[in-house]
Structure 1
Amino acid sequence: MLKGQPRATSPRPAISPAPGASEVFQLLRDGQPRTRAELAQLTGLARSSVASRVDTLMGLGLVAPYGGAASTGGRPPSLFALNPGARAVVAADIGATHARAILADLSGRELAEERQALTIGDGPDAVLGWLAGTVGTLLARGGLPASELAAIGIGLPGPVEHRTGRPINPPIMPGWDRFDVPARVQESYDVPVLVDNDVNIMALGERSFHWPGTTELMFVKVATGIGAGIISGGSLQRGAQGTAGDLGHVRVAYGGEVVCRCGNTGCLEALAGGPALVAALNERTGGTLTSSQDVIELVRSGDAGAVQVIRQAGRDIGDVLAACVNLINPSVIVIGGSLAQAGEHLLAGIREVVYQRSLPLATEHLRIVPSVAGDRAGVTGAAVLAIDHVLSPESIEAACAALTTG
């Protein structure tokens, strides 16, 4: 993210776009200002080729002059950097009973925010209708015309076929199965619409802004359900059909015949998900707890029974994560979701089993930590999803080609 902003520039005359400008642009995406000479050295291109590519990127508005570099004699060389204000994206994190949407620039800096209590079970027309209206509100609050909107990123609380943006058999989203989410949103805004499940975008958000140098990371969401976003080799791993990381329906060895909502027995979610913990405490005490938040409040008050239940949930989750550690060898496991608010009791149970049952080499430098982004991980990740699309080599090359025909 830039520490300063590139200088504003006056409109430039029409230019002849240079092919391969995306190669130069990817070096400027990090916001670090560089000279043409530095770019030539990094790419191996001739300075004249770099100059033509920089001119193309400036014509698109994606790159702008940035101050001036120190002179070694003669005229100081010019610096260039990403212009984060060139376009904007909207990011939405839609949960079971809430939604949060933000307007962000191309560096991910938030420009405006809207929150709303809503029910995902009301169906796609109602929820996406709210989103379409909210996009307009955010643009107005940010003082931007709709033409400045480059993409929309959306996180949903269920399995999503990322290629099409359609939810697939989502258990808590009646009416959403195979619904064409991008097409519905594009009725109002003709821009790319990227859709993914909530835990994947949480992994993107947590990693991009709090663990940027980490290439091997798992984000584990512990709430009503339990799932993981897996980043390996620096890239989000969705699997063949987008179901990678569905930890909640991995069978726990001692899960017995506890019935899960998926129809199988002994699933991790049926033992350690929010509703399971509520039921376990009510059975122990004859209580009338109704939500995960009730469990968290008991843990925070020091209730011994609640602490035991949360600690055991951590052990159950750790049992599944130990296998994941041996299989994919992450360097960081981030624990998020509503039940992560229970704090160190949950993490202690997870760490106890993971460090005991995983291979010593796999855990030698492994960190198991609470989420830093908290409830903002999802919307932050949705912004990353949209920005990564807008600034991808393919999108940059397409924009360059459009200059030729525009």
Structure 2
Amino acid sequence: MALPPPGAGALFQLLRDGRARTRAEIMEETGLARTTVVVRLAGLADLGLIAPAGIAASSGGRPPTRFVFDPRSRVVGGIDLGATHGVMGLTDLNGAVIARRRHALDIASGPEPVLALALDALHELLDETGYTRASLLGIGVGVPGPVEHSTGRPIRPPIMPGWDGFDVPAAVRRRFDVDVLVDNDVNVLALGERATMWPEVDDLLFIKVSTGIGAGIIAGGALQRGARGSAGDLGHVQVPHGRGEDDLEATASAPALALTVSAATGDAVDAARVAERVRTGDPAAIDAARDAGRAIGEVTAICVSMLNPSIVVIGGQLGVQVQEIIAGVREVVYRRSIPLATQHLTIVPAQGGPDAGLRGAALMVTEERLSANAIDGMLAANTGPVEATIARGSTGASR
């Protein structure tokens, strides 16, 4: 049986590349009839997702109009929460940051005050940029702990007292009646890092080394969360050649390094000062960082052999600031992983900057809300049943 022609949502995916096209060019690329193209473009224009983009050269008669995706027609809210600070902002539909705020916070103070602070910032940014609440496509939230992505609820997060099982989407929707998606901070960082620095890479492993240790896995171009959202929990993996029964977080996280350096020097070293001790040449801190890098490398080597990524990105407070960490990872991964997996493997520090988590949280929303099925759903809600069926395709197969 022949497949039905693509619906309006599928046609929109074609236009998301940003290239302006005439109706005739769309007909040629999709095989759709002119009337069908006209109706589906009209539906997308009603949603504000496309706009005229000038006229093309005429081959006789009235010059044809070009149509293009308008990424500034709507905005997405992104909230990237850490243990001690949060970044809140608005992006366009391509993930470009329009405005942002950074606030100090204490994630341990609980969900109500932290989310109130974040949502107040989003409200202020909407006012400042001239966008209305109706322009908000959705809100993405990243939190520093395990999340059941299907419900948006943190599950027993170690550094987030009061957040266990808390319905984050419901709390956000009390202020903004939009779709809300929640994930752990490492996953949103992986999305943001890839979009910023490696958009053509389909297989990327992002490892965050900070207060905790975790990984975001992008395979085949899609973020892999696992059955319940716990994929990438490297911190609780036992180090293969480590000391005793210690897991990676107990061996190589910032608090673990602080304990090691404190024991070696007799100083009371705070976890937030470990990177500074390394940079200033403290021998105990340098040795501890090298050992931590090798321990992370042991676990990363297993991941590389199993997942075969093209890029391994080391991020987080220690991953970016301490060269000894990434040097240790490279040393072990290239020695222990199979040659086929490492032949074209690149291991680099994170380069997405402070907006990576914000962009990742927002991109999590656009990936879902701008999918073909979601666009067809928006059209169904925006039009009557007859018009929606025409825009989707008479069989409704695009849904």
Taking structure 1 as the reference length, the TM-score comes to 0.90
Higher mean C-alpha displacement, 389-398 vs 327-336:
389-398
User: Are residues 1:165 and 2:144 paired?
Assistant: no
Q: Which runs of 4+ in 1 moved over 6 A?
A: none
Determine if contact 2:258/2:274 at 8 Å carries over to the other structure: yes
**Does residue 1:21 correspond to 2:8, yes or no?**
yes
Aligned to 2:365: 386
Are the equivalent residues in 2 in contact too, given 1:219–1:336 (CA < 8 A)? yes
1: CA distance between counterparts of 2:307 and 2:34? 42
How far apart are the structure 2 equivalents of 1:299 and 1:106? 40
Partners of 2:36 and 2:185 lie apart in 1 by 42
User: In the alignment, is residue 116 of structure 1 matched against residue 103 of structure 2?
Assistant: yes
CA deviations 1:339-373 (Å, max 9, x no partner) are 02334321111011000000100111100011111
Q: Find the partner of 2:143 among 156, 164, 178.
A: 156
Which stretch has the larger CA shift, 277-286 or 351-360? 277-286
- Structure 2 counterpart of 1:56: 43
The Cα of 1:70 is off from its aligned counterpart by: 4.0
List aligned pairs for 1:178-257, cutoff 5 A: 178-257=165-244
Compared CA separation, residues 88 and 342, structure 1 to 2 (3 A): closer
Partner of 1:353: 332
Letter in 1 for 2:340: L
SS of residue in 2 equivalent to 1:374: coil
1:399 partner amino acid? M
CA shift, 1:380, in A, is: 1.2
CA distance, structure 2, for counterparts of residue 396 and residue 274 of structure 1: 44
Which of 244, 267, 270 is equivalent to 1:290? 270
Partner in structure 2 of residue 33 of structure 1:
20
2:355 equivalent to 1:337: no
* Aligned with 1:136 (options 108, 123, 126): 123
State the 1:127 CA deviation. Answer: 1.1
Q: Which residue of 2 aligns with 1:367?
A: 346
What residue in structure 2 maps to residue 9 of structure 1?
A: none
One-letter amino acid of the counterpart of residue 348, structure 1: A
Aligned to 1:269: 249
Task: Please state whether the residue corresponding to 1:190 is helix, strand or coil.
Answer: coil
Work out the CA distance in 2 between the residues paired with 1:358 and 1:38. 48
2:393 corresponding residue in structure 1: none
Q: SS state of the match for residue 183, structure 1?
A: helix
Shift of 1:405: 3.4
Measured in 2, the distance between the counterparts of 1:19 and 1:237 equals: 27
Q: Letter of the 2:339 partner, please give it.
A: P
Q: Is the contact made by 1:162 and 1:196 (CA closer than 8 Å) also made in structure 2?
A: yes
Q: Pick from 79, 82, 88: which aligns with 2:66?
A: 79
| Alpha-carbon distance between aligned partners in 2 of 1:166 and 1:323, rounded to the nearest angstrom | 30
User: Is residue 321 from structure 1 mapped to residue 321 from structure 2 by the alignment?
Assistant: no
Residue 296 (structure 2) pairs with residue 309 (structure 1): no
Q: What's the secondary structure of 2:138's corresponding residue?
A: strand
SS in 1 for 2:383: helix
Would you say the 8 A contact 1:254–1:266 is kept in 2?
no
**1:281 lines up with 2:261 in the alignment:** yes
Amino acid in the other structure paired with 1:359: I
Preserved contact between residue 310 and residue 345 of structure 1 (Cα < 8 Å): yes
Shift of 1:94: 0.7
Whether contact under 8 Å (1:103, 1:142) holds in the other structure is no
Q: Which has the higher contact order (CA 8 A, sep 6+)?
A: 2
Residue 109 (structure 1) shift: 2.4
**Distance in 1 between residues matched to 2:56 and 2:275, nearest whole Å:** 54
CA distance in 1, matches of 2:24, 2:347: 42
* Offset from partner CA, 1:138-180 (integer Å, 9 cap, x none): 1111112212112011000000111110101111111111111
Name the CA shift for 1:46/1:359 in 2 (closer, same or farther; >3 Å). Answer: same
Find the partner of 1:102 among 89, 93, 114: 89
Q: CA deviation at 1:302?
A: 2.7
- Whether the 8 Å CA contact 1:310–1:342 is kept in 2: the answer is no
Alpha-carbon shift at residue 42 of structure 1 (Å)? 2.6
Structure 1 runs not aligned, ≥5 long? 1-17, 258-264
CA apart distance, 1:76: 3.7
The alpha-carbon deviation at position 111 of structure 1 amounts to: 2.2
Deviates more, 1:37-46 or 1:364-373: 37-46
Of stretches 282-291 and 166-175 in structure 1, the one that deviates more from structure 2 is 282-291
Q: Secondary structure, in 3 states, of the residue corresponding to 2:199?
A: coil
Paired with 1:75 and 1:304, the residues of 2 have a C-alpha distance of 76
Taking the aligned partners of 2:329 and 2:314, their CA distance within structure 1 comes to 10
Alpha-carbon distance between aligned partners in 2 of 1:375 and 1:307, rounded to the nearest angstrom: 25
> One-letter code of the match for 1:199?
V
Amino acid aligned to 2:271: S
Are the structure 2 counterparts of residues 255 and 53 from structure 1 closer, same or farther at C-alpha, using a change threshold of 3 Å? same
Q: Which runs of 5+ in 2 are unaligned?
A: 386-399
Which of 355, 377, 392 pairs up with 2:356? Answer: 377
